């Protein structure tokens, strides 16, 4: 079921819980996902790239194993990872094993370990807490004991891989999130992000417009599966659509 969740807590190792970002993670009906994590108030050093992290993958990169109605594991292997793209040192590479538990209150806890110094070195545990939100609302409306609110939401996914660029756009309800990497470039300028909400009139309100190739994101996504969407000369493939 397509869902969109807002992170409320991030805690690393023995550090204190905090949340400096406005992180939204979208997952489509078919399990394609994207997470964009912009700082709300970036520090001076963070201003040129004001994101804690961004990643995305098709369902191939997120192996979900439901344990019961309240818990599951997800093994992530991101196709798009800003840390990898930027060739950042001391950041994790490869599969990340995570455990998920839905609390009585409807919040969802995620726990896992990353290995920033290599798979053989000591891991660092992390804890993230997620609030599922109503994908039909532009404000952040908590989904409490009403998960059916999200069912029937628009779920559209676009993919790009033309040798020069690769990208993924996941649309859940009115929320559009996209990532676009330039190939053979590990500079900050190779990374582009899109976050927008669609108004009832079909217009987009942009919340994040980041990167020099932002114009390669399309500005309309109401399309059937298997069709193509053009953004200038860039052609995206619709790999999922419930329209």
| Residue 222 near residue 200 (C-beta atoms within 8 A) | no
Please count the other Cβ atoms lying within 10 Å of the Cβ belonging to residue 111. 15
Shortest reach from residue 141's CB to a second copy, in Å: 5
Cβ nearer to a second copy, comparing 45 with 90: 45
Minimum distance, C-beta of residue 42 to a second copy, in the bound complex (Å)? 9
C-alpha distances in angstroms, 239 versus 78, 99, 175? 17, 28, 17
**CB–CB of 24/177 below 8 Å?**
yes
Q: Can you give the binding site for a second copy, defined by CB under 8 A? A: 6, 8-9, 17-22, 39-41, 103-107, 109, 127, 129, 131, 134, 137, 139-142, 144-145
Q: How far is the CB of 129 from a second copy (least distance, A)?
A: 7
Q: In the complex with a second copy, which residue's Cβ is closer, 18 or 183?
A: 18
Q: What is the Cα–Cα distance from 5 to 235, expressed in whole angstroms? A: 29
DSSP letter string, 41-110: S--GGGTTS-EEEEEEE-GGGEEEEEEETTEEEEEE--SEEHHHHTT-TT---S-EEEEEEE-TTS-EEE
Q: How far is the CB of 49 from a second copy (least distance, A)?
A: 17
Q: How far is the CB of 8 from a second copy (least distance, A)?
A: 5
Quick one: 62 or 129, whose CB is closer to a second copy? 129
User: Nearer to a second copy by C-beta: 105 or 209?
Assistant: 105
Of 141 and 197, which has the nearer Cβ to a second copy?
141
CB of 240 to a second copy, least distance (A): 28
Q: Which is nearer to a second copy, 52 or 213 (CB)?
A: 52
Q: Is the separation of the CB atoms in 8 and 218 below 8 Å?
A: no
């Amino acid at each position: 079921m397509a869902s969109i969740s807002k992170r409320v807590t991030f805690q690393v190792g023995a550090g204190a819980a905090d949340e400096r970002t406005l992180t939204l993670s979208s997952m489509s009906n078919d399990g394609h996902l994207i997470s964009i994590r912009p700082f709300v108030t970036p520090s001076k050093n963070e201003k040129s790239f004001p994101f804690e992290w961004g990643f995305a993958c098709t369902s191939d990169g997120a192996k979900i194993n439901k344990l019961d109605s309240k818990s599951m594991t997800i093994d992530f292997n991101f196709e798009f990872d800003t840390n990898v793209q930027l060739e950042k040192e001391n950041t994790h590479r490869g599969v990340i094993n995570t455990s998920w538990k839905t609390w009585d209150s409807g919040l969802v806890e995620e726990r896992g370990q990353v290995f920033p110094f290599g798979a053989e070195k000591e891991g660092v545990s992390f804890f993230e807490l997620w609030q599922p939100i109503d994908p039909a609302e532009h404000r952040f409306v908590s989904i409490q004991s009403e998960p059916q609110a999200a069912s029937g939401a628009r779920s559209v996914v676009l993919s790009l891989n033309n040798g020069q660029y690769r990208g993924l756009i996941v649309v859940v309800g009115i929320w559009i999130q996209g990532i676009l990497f330039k190939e053979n470039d590990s500079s900050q300028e190779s990374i582009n992000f899109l976050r927008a909400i669609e108004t009832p009139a079909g217009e987009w309100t942009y919340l994040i417009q980041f990167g020099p190739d932002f114009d390669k994101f399309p500005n309309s996504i109401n399309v059937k599966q298997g069709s193509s969407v053009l953004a200038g000369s860039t052609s995206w493939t619709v790999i999922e659509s419930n329209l």
